[in-house]
């Protein structure tokens, strides 16, 4: 359930932005859209502006005006430099402010909930374009998967368990999580909320890819990752995907060699 202070923050931020002619609309995305917010959620806001660009100082000034700002930084590390990631106190809130020129709203991953807008500008843009959430390239995954498995097997053989467990996290985030979510008709958001979204059987298979810092556990988790991938591959990938059976057989033989 969405806490009342989430709405209080958005209401206050709405008044601030709507009083400045630079801003044309404010919208909410993420879990605000699907009603899955709880007290641990972030608030994802889209600030639509009319200038081609806004300076970092302008963005920070707006963020500071919204509350007791503890820290903020831009989102290059997640591939979104327009994003200003903010942490507030009293109450403590994580708020993502994405600053988007209004023409650029035609390219988006979701249709946000409009908080306010001038002259229906955002409504018009949304009705004249289609949101497209990025889905994984199945062939890209298959072309790389068996090379990745060989890499992990070699690291287990050498005893590099930190590297192995980090690799398993990568596979969960890049391959298994998205495919499992697609199988269950959810958006492929890595491993976000899979504890709540996956059915018990798929969640247990995902848990089986976790490993401790030893050879036996890492080998078991890697084998389970392969098993889960094969299961998901059959469930969600179209027949047009070309499986690299030769690489698959050779790598699985190598994995058995490492295990022995």
Under the banding of pLDDT at 50, 70 and 90, the label for residue 2 is confident
Residues 228 and 162 in one domain: yes
* Tens-place pLDDT, residues 236-258: 999 999 999 999 999 999 999 99
Residues 144 and 224 in one domain: yes
How far apart are the C-alpha atoms of 219 and 214, rounded to whole Å?
Answer: 9
Under the banding of pLDDT at 50, 70 and 90, the label for residue 78 is confident
- Residue 34: is its pLDDT beyond 90? no
* Tens-place pLDDT, residues 165-224: 999 999 999 999 999 999 999 999 999 999 999 999 999 999 999 999 999 999 999 999
The CATH number that applies at residue 96 is 3.30.460.10
How far apart are the C-alpha atoms of 59 and 57, rounded to whole Å?
Answer: 5
CB neighbour class for 192 (10 Å; exposed up to 12, middle 13-18, buried from 19) = middle
The CATH number that applies at residue 237 is 1.20.120.330
What confidence score (pLDDT) does residue 143 get? 97
Q: Is the dihedral of CA 215, 180, 228, 246 positive or negative?
A: negative
Residue 133 maps to a domain: no
Residue 132 maps to a domain: no
Q: Is the pTM of this model over 0.85?
A: yes
């Amino acid at each position: 359930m969405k806490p009342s202070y989430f709405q209080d923050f958005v209401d206050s931020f709405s008044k601030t932005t709507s009083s400045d002619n630079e801003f044309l609309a404010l919208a909410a995305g993420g879990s605000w859209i699907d009603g899955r917010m709880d007290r641990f959620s972030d608030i994802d806001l889209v600030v639509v502006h009319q200038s081609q660009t806004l300076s970092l100082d302008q963005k920070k000034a707006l963020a500071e005006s919204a509350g007791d700002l503890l820290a903020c930084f831009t989102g290059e590390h997640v591939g979104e430099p327009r994003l200003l990631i903010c942490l507030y106190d009293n109450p403590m809130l994580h708020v993502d402010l994405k600053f988007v020129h209004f023409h650029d709203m035609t390219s988006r991953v979701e249709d946000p909930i409009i908080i306010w807008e001038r002259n229906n500008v955002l409504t018009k843009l949304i009705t004249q374009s289609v949101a497209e959430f990025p889905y994984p390239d199945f062939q890209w995954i298959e072309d790389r998967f068996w090379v990745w498995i060989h890499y992990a097997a070699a690291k287990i053989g050498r005893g590099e368990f930190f590297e192995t467990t980090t690799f398993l996290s990568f596979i969960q985030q890049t391959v298994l999580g998205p495919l499992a979510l697609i199988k269950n008709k959810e958006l492929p958001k890595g491993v976000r909320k899979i504890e709540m979204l996956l059915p018990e059987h798929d969640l247990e298979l995902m848990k089986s890819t976790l490993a401790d810092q030893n050879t036996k556990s890492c080998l078991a988790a890697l084998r389970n990752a392969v098993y889960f991938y094969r299961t998901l591959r059959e469930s969600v990938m179209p027949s047009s995907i070309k499986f690299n059976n030769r690489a698959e057989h050779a790598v699985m033989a190598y994995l058995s060699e490492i295990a022995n």
